[in-house]
């Protein structure tokens, strides 16, 4: 027989190693996750997708924008601030544009299904935003995060997971089931 031992992480040790003071950023990270999840309960589904899409597009624009050519006379600290505020501002502008266009409009299910989807997409929105925002933060700001927060949001593995996971879940959660018979007219 095969014996497998499952070990669970020590939750008390993890929470004790996080910085819960207002000087550290771990408290603000958890607060941000909670606020975004609560806001996603009030958004319609197409607005949640518009927010996800605007985060992806904003990241790509800021990542490939030629800051070195256009802002070469500015110091590195000011360039980092421009990247951070440009990222946040571009997310807001694109979210406003995409939420008005109804590109991502889809039918929603029942109350429980909508609740679960809002919870999942809220966590994914917050995680994706924070992971990509950490990329633009200067090193002296990163020292205010605990090691667990940096591993959870700032490591290369975490970044890949936070970028790919929303796409995978959108593909699998929104899969329409084919019903037998004639297709609908809409």
Q: How many residues does the chain have?
A: 186
pLDDT of residue 140: 82
Residue 24 has pLDDT above 80, yes or no: no
Mean pLDDT of 7-34: 65
Using alpha carbons, list the distances in angstroms from residue 183 to 104, 107, 175, 180, 186.
Answer: 21, 16, 16, 8, 9
CA–CA distance from 98 to each of 36, 71, 95, 101, 185 (Å)? 18, 29, 5, 5, 26
pLDDT in tens, 115-148: 777 788 888 888 888 888 888 888 888 888 888 8
- Only one residue has tokens 């991502």, namely 104
* Tens digit of each residue's pLDDT (9 = 90 or more) over 104-124: 555 555 666 767 777 888 888
pLDDT higher than 60, residue 11: no
Assigned domain for 18 exists: no
Instruction: Confirm whether 9 is domain-assigned.
Output: no
Considering the domain boundaries, does residue 2 fall inside one? no
Q: What is the pLDDT of residue 89?
A: 92
149 part of a folded domain: yes
Number of domains in the chain: 1
Residue 79 located in a structural domain:
yes
Residue 66 lies in a domain: yes
Question: Between helices 111-136 and 45-64, what is the axis angle to 10°?
Answer: 10
Over residues 9-35, mean pLDDT: 66
Q: Looking at the domain assignment, is residue 54 inside a domain?
A: yes
pLDDT of 180 over the 80 cut: no
Domain that holds residue 117: 26-173
In a domain, 60, yes or no: yes
Q: What is the pTM of this model?
A: 0.63
């Amino acid at each position: 027989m095969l014996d497998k031992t499952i070990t669970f992480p020590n939750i008390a040790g993890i929470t004790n190693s996080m910085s819960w003071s207002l000087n550290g950023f771990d408290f603000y990270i958890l607060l941000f996750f909670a606020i975004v999840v609560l806001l996603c309960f009030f958004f319609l589904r197409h607005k949640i997708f518009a927010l996800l899409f605007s985060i992806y597009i904003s990241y790509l624009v800021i990542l490939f924008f030629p800051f070195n050519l256009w802002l070469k006379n500015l110091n590195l600290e000011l360039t980092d601030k421009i990247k951070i505020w440009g990222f946040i501002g571009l997310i807001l502008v694109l979210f406003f544009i995409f939420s008005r266009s109804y590109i991502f409009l889809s039918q929603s299910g029942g109350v429980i299904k909508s609740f679960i989807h809002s919870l999942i997409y809220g966590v994914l929105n917050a995680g994706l935003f924070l992971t990509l925002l950490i990329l633009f933060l200067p090193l002296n700001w990163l020292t205010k995060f605990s090691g667990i927060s940096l591993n959870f949001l700032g490591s290369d593995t975490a970044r890949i997971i936070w970028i790919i996971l929303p796409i995978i879940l959108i593909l699998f959660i929104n899969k329409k089931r084919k019903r037998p018979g004639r297709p609908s007219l809409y």
